[in-house]
Amino acid sequence: MTGRFSLNQATTKYWPLPSLAAGCVEAGVTRVGLWREDIQAYGVEKSRRLMDDHGLTVTSLCRGGFFHTDGWLDENKRAVDEAVTVGAPVLLLVSGGLPAGSRDIDGARARVGERIGDLVPHALAAGVRLAIEPLHPMFASDRCVVSTLAQALDLAAPYPPAAVGVALDTYHLWWDDTIWAQIERAGREDRIACFQVADWVTPLPAGVLLGRGLPGTGVVETRRFREAVDATGFTGPIEVEVFDEELWARPGPDILADTLAAFRAHVR
Amino acid sequence: MTGRFSLNQATTKYWPLPSLAAGCVEAGVTRVGLWREDIQAYGVEKSRRLMDDHGLTVTSLCRGGFFHTDGWLDENKRAVDEAVTVGAPVLLLVSGGLPAGSRDIDGARARVGERIGDLVPHALAAGVRLAIEPLHPMFASDRCVVSTLAQALDLAAPYPPAAVGVALDTYHLWWDDTIWAQIERAGREDRIACFQVADWVTPLPAGVLLGRGLPGTGVVETRRFREAVDATGFTGPIEVEVFDEELWARPGPDILADTLAAFRAHVR
């Protein structure tokens, strides 16, 4: 048994969904986090049937957000609907960076809060929880203006916890010396919607998106994070989500085996 | 006249020191920030004479710190002494990352505070002010465990402001939504020892060290920073410090001219 472990599909990026489903069963893994681009390519309803047929629980769907782009509301409503269809209780929100030519990060952050509010009724009606994900400050200009857990919790605060929570990813948050207090706060305010684990490995590659490592390969106190999140009373899934070209180049079953081993050695 | 502008030598990395000195005079620039490796190569006392002969004021010396390395105390005392010799009133401290194999960032941060304390008597006796520089959180593991202005101010707090201040660099701090309150705090606590300006440009290059741009080339509200720092009563130099391979490849006088133009358009 693999307990609360969930394989985020991004960790095995090139493993076709049917093989991933069969491989999870083979490895005793019962939970997966999915990505929209992958379930769209395979078919969203077909993905749901595939998960059901293999007894797999979907723990989250990545992602909505990018609130500064044209058509953001329709796109985010579609993302919520896909979460419903595929059986994901949580939709991660990566808020987006600054609009082209803008330096107004305060304005961008305020807009994220407003637009999440616009999305809340649809999410509540659908029974999907939105999870605001703070990304590492190195992504603040081009990917996500929400840079700390404190900001994410402030943005979530106006809305019911059933509608809006936060996603904690160790990769994005490990450097923050206020993180332990903010995790406690996230628990107290009933906002922990998703917990993801990846490690911080240097040197960072160009573009900095694909530099994450399996737990134990870098400097993050991944077990301390898991214990801090558990101490809030959180008993939900723990996704391992790693973006790493070298890891991705390997066969899916090998990646999954190493991911499980890393989870057992450095998270559980 | 170029007012409070100071050319940090790193911006014109490959400009030999005598040419830099002459070029500054030519451009009406009267202030420079220097680097240890460069004044060591040229000769520290000789660098001082060169500055004096050209009527140049040295605004800062980069850098001490790296407190987790062997011989850190002797090395930092040498850095203080070089600051005295070259006439720099301020020595920047880049605190260093995690020791090899360590995940103990709390311990590393505590050690930085202790070791700065060990260095304080030497700095006070020498009349050199130490400036703790928070670096962007993307450098937390391999270059500087001090990631926010709040941390730097907390580390400085036990020591007299004449001995320990902080360095504000827009490149490292721009993403932080608490920065405006912390700049005000830094002024109130009399800790602003150095103010540097660079812009944030994406995509980041591999290793992420050399991705900085001249003011106006990226997303940082550089003038807002200058106004916020001024509002504390700070009237000191404003260094432009940019690490950019493409910029460095150009002739020193051209870089200086563009740096001055960027300063006038986006900082002053």
Distance CA A229, CA A168 (A): 9
pLDDT at residue B233 tops 70: yes
Q: What is the pLDDT of residue B1?
A: 61
Task: Choose among B175, B177, B219: nearest Cβ to A103.
Answer: B219
- Reported pTM: 0.97
* Predicted complex ipTM: 0.96
Contacts of A174 in chain B (CB under 8 A): 105, 140
Q: What is the pLDDT of residue B239?
A: 98
Mutation target to probe the B interface, by most B beta carbons within 10 A, among A153, A175, A176, A224 is: A175
pLDDT at residue B236 tops 90: yes
pLDDT tens, B221-230? 999 999 999 9
Return the sign of the alpha-carbon dihedral for residues B20, B21, B27, B32. positive
pLDDT tens, A17-32? 999 999 999 999 999 9
Q: Is B138's CB within 8 Å of A140's CB?
A: no
**Section B213-220 average pLDDT:** 98
| Chain A residue at shortest CA distance from B145 | A175
Q: Is A200's CB within 8 Å of B141's CB?
A: yes
pLDDT tens, A8-66? 999 999 999 999 999 999 999 999 999 999 999 999 999 999 999 999 999 999 999 99
Return the sign of the alpha-carbon dihedral for residues A228, A229, A232, A237. negative
Two structure tokens written together for A7:
């394989």
User: Does any domain span residue A268?
Assistant: no
Contacts of A142 in chain B (CB under 8 A): 202-203
Contacts of B208 in chain A (CB under 8 A): 138, 203-204, 208
Grouping H, G, I as helix, E, B as strand and the rest as coil, residue A74 is: helix
* Exposure letters A140-167 (e unless 16+ CB within 10 A, then b): bbbbbbbbbbbbbbebbeebeeebbbbb
Which string of DSSP letters, residue by residue, matches B156-209? HTTS-TTTEEEEEEHHHHTT-TTHHHHHHHHHHTT-EEEEEE-EE-SSPPTTST
Among residues A105, A41, A122, the alpha carbon closest in space to that of A68 is found at A105
Structural domain harbouring B47: 5-266
Total domains present in chain A: 1
pLDDT tens, A95-130? 999 999 999 999 999 999 999 999 999 999 999 999
CATH classification of the domain holding B204: 3.20.20.150
Spell out the residues 6+ positions from residue B263 whose beta carbon is closer than 8 angstroms to its own.
B2, B5, B197, B215, B238, B240
Which DSSP letter does residue B147 get?
A: -
User: Does any domain span residue A157?
Assistant: yes
User: Does any domain span residue A202?
Assistant: yes
- Work out the number of other CB atoms within 10 angstroms of the CB of residue A60: 30
